[in-house]
């Protein structure tokens, strides 16, 4: 008995034709397992994103167990991210070379195996090595997952799949430190890696069972070794520079300057190489599509604003208010939920929504949230952050799904994987730049604000002297001798001044995050259409 698979482009169904002799046709829904595919690839992407930040809260414990310095242990994070961003732009080529199903499943299993060895590592070198391997496996889990979802859903429902993916992208970096703090407090640091094992195996099983290779997949006949080396040099040097720039005072350091020159030189050579060969590892030609180019640029600003604000808020809550990672997570959670709900609503109605309307609206809400956060004082409590974070979550929800759909709308199916790879790469690099800028400006803004405040807190100033006298009397009343009480009163005043300087610095950073995202909106003028187009069987 022979079987013929007959695709029906109009209905999105596949028919199995059995013969002979009747030639009866049985229709099978091609999108039957769309939600299972979405759950599988989104879970894999969430695991990858959580692992970019989950280790941060465990660093003191790792230093103690492995006998490492802060500079040495930072490679646990830096090595992972560098490996990650190198693989992301290559994921389209790798998916075509190995087949999407095998590549995605293999990447998840590599990520899982590396996670296990990270937890079992007894030396710093071993931990860093397996974190790099983990990053290489995790690099596939963003862009490959996103391009898979474009084909897993019918054209009219593609926004639903992107909404599920978007929730993971937005929530993952937020809950990483909170989850890490809970695990470290209640178990031990190796469990931040072990937790990936059962979840990753489940995701790999689901992917292997339900994901299929792309109908539009093109397998390269050769390996662009030179392109791969240039890509690794370019992106690796750039990420290393962003990770270490603040510590070495940026371009005042010869090391950071060399990294910058290396990244720029290899980037120019990479573009020349990829545009002059027939089978490049990165197809830069797709950026000739102005809508993709504009969307990729907006994604960089989105990453900068998102990761910059995500970095600043926990530092504000834990550094100034002494909150734990769990308490910080509970404050951030309502905003993450509002983002998820907004994406669900937007995703279900994506066919009717125009990114040229929803993205400015979302950016406006994000700016409003950042403005309200900039008004926080040293005495602000959790209730003061509730509505700003709700607005922030809704704003991001209005941006991600429509922007992704519209950015990919004009691409051919064969170009989709390259497009999603570039979209995710620029968002990740934008995020790294946002964190680097925030870390640098936080220190500088704090120093500037402290210098400004100190001009008004000088010896002989009546207000200052009255404050010191009040603090001194309070300490004396508690049994502290007069000389020690005076010294402690001055120390308290100094801490209060430092706290106020920090609040002023955070205020400026919040506003800059909002303004950075707003500054990208003129790029929407390059969009020919703001509506998403699915890539089902009828796609051309």
pLDDT digits (tens, 9 = 90+) for 508-530: 889 999 999 999 999 999 998 87
Residue 2: pLDDT over 60: no
Q: Residue 296's pLDDT is what?
A: 92
8: β partners = 13
Which of 220, 233, 223 is CA-nearest to residue 269? Answer: 233
Residue 252 neighbours by CB under 8 Å, 6+ apart: none
Share of the chain above pLDDT 90, in %: 16
Give phi and psi for 15, each to the nearest 5: -110, 140
User: Between these two residues, 466 and 200, which has the higher pLDDT value?
Assistant: 200
Average predicted confidence (pLDDT) for the chain: 79
pLDDT in tens, 410-460: 888 778 878 888 888 888 888 878 877 887 888 888 888 777 766 666 555
Q: Residue 419's pLDDT is what?
A: 85
Which of 409, 169, 185, 136 is CA-nearest to residue 290? Answer: 409
Residue 181 neighbours by CB under 8 Å, 6+ apart: 57, 324, 325, 326, 329
**Alpha helices per DSSP H over 408-481:** 416-454, 462-477
Which of 299, 298, 330, 338 is CA-nearest to residue 313? Answer: 330
Lowest mean pLDDT of 76-80, 444-448, 489-493, name the range.
489-493
What is the average pLDDT across 79-88? Answer: 83
Lowest mean pLDDT of 15-29, 336-350, 355-369, name the range.
15-29
Confidence at 24, pLDDT banded by 50, 70, 90: very low
What distance in Å separates the CA atoms of residue 123 and residue 128, rounded to the nearest whole number? 9
What distance in Å separates the CA atoms of residue 510 and residue 519, rounded to the nearest whole number? 15
CA angle 340, 343, 347 (to 5 degrees): 145
What distance in Å separates the CA atoms of residue 288 and residue 412, rounded to the nearest whole number? 13
What distance in Å separates the CA atoms of residue 420 and residue 92, rounded to the nearest whole number? 9
Residue 4: pLDDT over 60: no
What distance in Å separates the CA atoms of residue 426 and residue 347, rounded to the nearest whole number? 22
Q: Residue 109's pLDDT is what?
A: 94
Residue 216: pLDDT over 80: no
What is the average pLDDT across 91-103? Answer: 83
pLDDT in tens, 317-334: 777 777 766 677 778 778
Q: Residue 174's pLDDT is what?
A: 67
């Amino acid at each position: 008995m022979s079987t013929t698979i007959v695709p029906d482009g109009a209905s999105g169904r596949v028919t199995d034709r059995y013969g002979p002799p009747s030639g009866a046709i049985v229709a099978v829904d091609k999108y039957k397992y769309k939600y299972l595919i979405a759950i599988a690839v989104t879970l894999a992407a969430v695991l990858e994103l959580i692992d970019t930040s989950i280790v941060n809260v465990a660093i003191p414990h790792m230093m103690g167990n492995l006998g490492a310095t802060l500079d040495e242990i930072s490679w646990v994070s830096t090595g992972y991210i560098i490996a990650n961003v190198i693989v992301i732009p290559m994921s389209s080529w790798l998916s075509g070379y190995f087949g999407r199903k095998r590549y995605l499943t293999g990447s998840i299993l590599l990520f899982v195996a590396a996670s296990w060895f990270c937890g079992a590592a007894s030396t710093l070198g071993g931990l860093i090595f397996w974190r790099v391997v983990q990053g290489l496996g995790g690099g596939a889990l963003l862009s490959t997952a996103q391009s898979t979802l474009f084909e897993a859903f019918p054209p009219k429902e593609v926004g639903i799949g992107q909404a599920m993916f978007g929730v993971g992208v937005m929530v993952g970096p937020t809950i990483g430190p909170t989850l890490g703090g809970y695990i470290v407090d209640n178990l031990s640091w190796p469990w931040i890696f072990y937790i990936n094992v059962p979840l990753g195996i489940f995701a790999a099983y689901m992917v292997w069972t339900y994901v299929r290779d792309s109908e539009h997949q093109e397998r390269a006949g050769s390996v662009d070794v030179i392109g791969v080396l240039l890509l690794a040099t370019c992106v690796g040097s750039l990420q290393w520079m962003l990770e270490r720039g603040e510590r070495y005072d940026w371009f005042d350091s010869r090391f950071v300057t060399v990294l910058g020159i290396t990244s720029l030189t290899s980037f120019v050579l990479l573009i020349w190489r990829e545009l002059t060969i027939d089978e490049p590892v990165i197809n830069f030609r797709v950026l000739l599509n102005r809508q993709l180019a504009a969307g990729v640029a907006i994604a960089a600003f989105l990453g900068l604003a998102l990761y910059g604000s995500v970095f600043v808020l926990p530092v504000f809550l834990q550094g100034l208010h002494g909150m734990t990672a769990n308490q910080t997570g509970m404050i951030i959670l309502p905003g993450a939920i509002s983002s998820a709900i907004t994406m669900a609503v937007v995703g279900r109605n994506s066919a009717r929504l125009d990114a040229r309307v929803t993205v400015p609206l979302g950016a406006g809400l994000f700016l409003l949230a950042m403005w309200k956060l900039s008004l926080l004082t040293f005495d602000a409590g959790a209730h003061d952050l509730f509505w700003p974070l709700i607005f922030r979550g809704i704003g991001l929800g209005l941006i991600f799904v429509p922007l992704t759909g519209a950015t990919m709308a004009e691409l051919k199916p064969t170009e989709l994987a390259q497009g999603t790879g570039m979209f995710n790469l620029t968002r990740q690099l934008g995020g790294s730049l946002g964190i680097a800028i925030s870390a640098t400006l936080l220190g500088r803004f704090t120093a500037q604000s402290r210098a400004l405040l100190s001009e008004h807190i000088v010896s002989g100033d009546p207000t200052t002297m009255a404050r010191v006298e009040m603090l001194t009397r309070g300490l004396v009343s508690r049994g502290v001798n007069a000389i020690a009480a005076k010294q402690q009163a001055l120390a308290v005043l100094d801490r209060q001044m430092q706290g106020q300087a920090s609040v002023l610095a955070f205020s400026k950073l919040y506003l800059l995050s909002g303004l950075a995202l707003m500054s990208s909106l003129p790029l929407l003028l390059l969009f020919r259409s703001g509506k998403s187009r699915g890539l089902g069987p009828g796609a051309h």
